[in-house]
Structure 1
Amino acid sequence: MRTYRLCAVLAARALSKSPWTLLIPPVYAALLVPTAALAAQLGLVGGFVYALVTDALLASLLFVVSELVGGSRVRLHELPRSVGHYFWPIMNVLFVLWIASFLLRPVVASIPNGETFMLGIWLVLFILLNAVPEVIYRRGTYGGLAAIGASIGFVQEHWLVWLPPNLALGALLWFALPPLAAAGPLGFLLAPILAGALIHAFLVFRGFLFEELDGSTSRQRALRHRLGR
């Protein structure tokens, strides 16, 4: 709990320098709506367009989170150039996952309950690859396979501390957002904005948590805390 409190305080301080960035995720999510509508009309080309736009928005968001965790302020005029920093590292990971999905598709189609099996695989991947964003922007691991391998190693070593906050956020979004969205027009409007802001704040928290855990043991962290880090 001490580690969580420390990271929450650091995240709050970082966000206080650029509170406007809390609006970035809901704005980016809103941009994907017309993009998806356009992509649906373009067939195969539309799928590539949607993937590129999604990658660009994720790269921009990752840049913002990286700057905040690094102690910098983020200014609006930085957003246009924010895409370039992590566009290809994210694309590398997505490409590896696409290849894996492509290879698994005929296997899944040939077995009973293939869709359930595939869902289980994606769930395992979601857990093991959970730290990919932090591996990319904190460690600077840009290769697709390298980032995936580093994330798996990190989660295997620190799952007991890393996963509970992620599960807590998922539960909060799962149980709290639907009632809010169903509460009328205002709730319907506020739900995605609050969800996006919460996810953004959580990503900053995760960045500090990753720094706290990476390359350390629980005993080493306890010693640092006793020494008044």
Structure 2
Amino acid sequence: MRYFTLVVLAGHLLFSWQQAAPKTTSETAGKTIKPADDKAQIQQLIRQVVNWGESAKSINLLPLLTTNKSDYCIGMNLKMHKLNLEKLKAANFFAAEFIENYNQIILTLDQKIRRKEIEKWHANGELPPLNFASNVDPWTLCQDVPYDKPNPYDFIKTNVITLDNHQGMAYWKWGKLDANTDASWKAFTYRFRVVKENGKWKVAYLQGFDFKNSTSKAGL
């Protein structure tokens, strides 16, 4: 009799625990909630990247070094550049490939300026005679945005070209444009590539950070 009572009590406790325990599956109201698919994750990633790039948390894309007696640019401030690389890593949006590409852009520009392959300019007041981070914003390849809305980069719409379990090619466009928006904004596209690192999609390439174009003089 005592044994039977213990069995019943144990069964009752197990049933109560199962009723009270939180569900480990993603079921709500009889519907299974699927995790965001890769395309949705990639769209979220590129929006986060552009928002971050345009925020106060971002990096100084051109860490210029100037002379003490004038404001002529004589190279790149490599101490500031090192801090930029650390911030890119800490953001957790960028693949190692992207960070190294940016590193090589700055180191190459530094050498070209020091070897006078790029003419000197006043760092305070003149646009750098460079393609990179000079006339247009590398994060968007634009000088402004096509609408007056809060958080405009949240309207970016991604189109995936190729995608597998490890990498993908895509481009983004401005989304939710008004009917009377200029046609050039509707035709605009920005290429990028993503790779999966440690189970997370990260940006490996951005069109505005293309190495060949970014290390050329303005107009070339």
The TM tier, using the shorter chain, reads under 0.3
Q: Which protein has greater RCO, CA pairs closer than 8 Å, 6+ apart? A: 1
Give the helix-richer structure, 1 or 2.
Answer: 1
- TM-score scaled by length of structure 1: 0.21
